[in-house]
A and B are shown apart, each in its own frame.
Chain A
Amino acid sequence: MSEITLQMVVADLDRLPALPEVVQDLMDYLQRPEVDIGQVAYKIARDPALAAKLLRIANSSFYGLQRQVATIRDALTVLGLRAARTLVIGAAVVTHFQALVAVGYDQRAFWLHSAGTALCARALARELGANMENSFTAGLLHDIGRFILVALFPEAHRRVMAYRDEHDCYPIEAEQEILGFNHTQIGAALAVRWKFPAEIAVAIAHHHNPMDIPANSLVDLVHMADVMAHVLEFSGGNEKLVPCLSDAAWDRLGIGWVEFKRLLGEVDAQRDEAGWMLS
């Protein structure tokens, strides 16, 4: 049984198929202070899977459009370019990783929880007046490190799961026990390597320990969204546990329990969107 280290996983990130050139190009272009909407639409249209996902997000009931948007250009106008930037990153990464096959792992459950967390994060952001698209994307990618572990080191991941099943503990505890590091560190390394917005990298890195860092609204928000998505059981599974909600994050977010229950209801009503975001 070979031991693996965080350094080995990070070094192996290069073994993952690179983000398609189209996406890389698009992400670079969207970093510019001034961008042309026609150019962005053109770049997105070069990747049909990405274009389809973006249209689906723009047409989701959340944005409450009077009519369906049919073109990328319309979708960008509806969402705004700033919003589109983070959504493009999220949609691109999910599309990209969905193509990887991890034998013996319930990928659908993983992505349903990720998409559910994205929906929760967006609802929380609207409630709190935070940036909805950054929140959505951070929610979508918060556990990406776990998927990378499964894809690159399936054997190590199996040992983690065996430990989890034996002790019925939180998955992050099993990772820490077996590997000596956890999925948040892997995810953060990927976020840096692939030049995600810094805010999103920080949220991925600290979504399990918001209390250990100075107040950061996106970290608190993704932490809470992860809890909500588990409460709403997007992925199902009898072994699942609701993660420990941090007092510090809860107090800083300043939501009451009545509002919390209302938000659960809001996301519950959008539940189907998680499934078709992945299709």
Chain B
Amino acid sequence: MIQIISLDQILPGMVLGEEVMSGSNLLLPLGTVIQDAHIDSLRRCGVSEIVVLVPSEPSTAEINEQREVLRERVERLFRRASSNVTMQALRRAVLEYRLEKFK
């Protein structure tokens, strides 16, 4: 995913999602990892906005799918567990632990 941000918002470590041109001159190519020196030179060249890559968040569907995998794994470990209260509480605690860790 890409996002347009103003030069004020740029931070070292961000990755360019589009090349930066000044007229017909290429200032920085696509994929450049921004460093402090770049920010200074962009400012000197009067660039006001740049396009950066935004790491894509996993979709809700993907998250749900991964949670389902965790749930199935816990069910598998407990497939022979009796229905007694302690064992069922253990199963719940283990599932909670894994889901919290996954977050």
Q: Which A residue sits closest to B80, measured CB to CB? A: A241
User: Which residues of A are found within 8 Å of B96, using beta-carbon distances?
Assistant: 261
Give A204-235 interface residues, CB cut-off 8 Å to B.
227, 230-231, 233
Residues A241 and B101 in contact, CB atoms below 8 Å apart: no
User: Which residues of A are found within 8 Å of B85, using beta-carbon distances?
Assistant: 247
* Among A168, A231, A247, A261, contact of B80 (Cβ-Cβ < 8 Å): A168
Does A245 have its Cβ within 8 Å of any Cβ on chain B? yes
A52 to chain B, nearest CB (A): 33
Residues A238 and B90 in contact, CB atoms below 8 Å apart: no
Give B54-87 interface residues, CB cut-off 8 Å to A.
76-82, 84-87
Residues A261 and B97 in contact, CB atoms below 8 Å apart: yes
Residues B101 and A265 in contact, CB atoms below 8 Å apart: yes
Q: Which A residue sits closest to B90, measured CB to CB? A: A245
User: Which residues of A are found within 8 Å of B30, using beta-carbon distances?
Assistant: none
**CA A239 – CA B69 in complex, angstroms?**
16
Does B27 have its Cβ within 8 Å of any Cβ on chain A? no
* Among A169, A170, A242, contact of B90 (Cβ-Cβ < 8 Å): A242
Residues A245 and B86 in contact, CB atoms below 8 Å apart: yes
Q: Which A residue sits closest to B84, measured CB to CB? A: A247
User: Which residues of A are found within 8 Å of B87, using beta-carbon distances?
Assistant: 244-245
**CA A260 – CA B100 in complex, angstroms?**
14
Does A181 have its Cβ within 8 Å of any Cβ on chain B? no
Asked, given contacts A257-B93, A261-B96, A265-B97, whether A231 binds B77 with beta carbons under 8 Å apart, the answer is: yes
Q: Which B residue sits closest to A173, measured CB to CB? A: B80
**CA A250 – CA B86 in complex, angstroms?**
8
**CA A157 – CA B65 in complex, angstroms?**
39
Residues A261 and B81 in contact, CB atoms below 8 Å apart: no
Residues A244 and B82 in contact, CB atoms below 8 Å apart: yes
Residues A242 and B93 in contact, CB atoms below 8 Å apart: no
Residues A264 and B97 in contact, CB atoms below 8 Å apart: yes
Residues A244 and B81 in contact, CB atoms below 8 Å apart: yes
Of listed B79, B89, B93, residue having the most chain A CB within 10 A:
B93
User: Which residues of A are found within 8 Å of B82, using beta-carbon distances?
Assistant: 244
- Please list the residues of chain B having a beta carbon within 8 angstroms of any beta carbon in chain A: 76-82, 84-87, 89-90, 92-94, 96-97, 100-101
CB-based closest 8 A-B pairs = A257-B93, A247-B86, A261-B97, A242-B77, A250-B86, A231-B94, A264-B97, A245-B90
